[in-house]
Copies of this chain bind each other. A is one copy, B any other.
Amino acid sequence: MSDPTSRDKLIRTASNLFRQKGYSGVGLSELLKEAGLPKGSLYYHFPNGKQELAEAATRWAGAWLERLLDTTFAQAESFDEGALMVCDAIASEVTSQPHVPACPVLSILQAAPLEPRLQITAQEVYGSWTKCIEKHAKRLGHPRPNDAAFSLHCKLQGAWIIAFAQQSNAPFAQLARTLDQKL
């Protein structure tokens, strides 16, 4: 059939770069040079070009984070404990890289006015995360699963953005502390 490593390489590289510089901040030439692939490969695997690649990269990274949320929460015995574990999990994932990457959705968010499909993608990926957290909130017997999931999602997003701005995982550490104090 086809070589999965080439398409995969494009998605991974796109995800990395977009999460650092944003959709509009990354040029195709830069992306392809980083991936070590020619332009022909991009438009073979993604006929709609940059937008289609960005969507695929965001969904790919989005699914990865959803798995992280799901498996982490699965080990928790209470919602509060799960929230804390998720906070630590994201913090360590984010800091394991030389450059602290932004949330995958953030990369395409500001391109939404230009590319309507990306706005839909962003909403769907956000929705999948909230739903995943809500599922575990329900399972762990939280009285208001939906509100709890939304609240945690908000806090994580906020901490992630501040961490990205500071290029440090300190905000995640502080978020963990405030979660502990129920602030």
Contacts and interface: CB of A to CB of B under 8 A. Distances in A.
Given A159-B154, A175-B154, A178-B151, A22 B165 contact: no
A181 B151 CA distance: 11
Contacts of A105: 165
A117 to B, nearest CB: 13
A37 interface: no
Interface residues of A, number: 47
Contacts of A24: 21-22, 24-25
B25 A147 contact: no
A18 to B, nearest CB: 9
Query: Main SS of chain A's interface residues?
Result: helix
B147 A178 contact: yes
A110 interface: yes
B151 A114 contact: no
A20 interface: yes
Interface stretch (A6-14, A43-51, A119-127): A119-127
Interface string A156-183: 1111011011110001001101100111
B109 A164 contact: yes
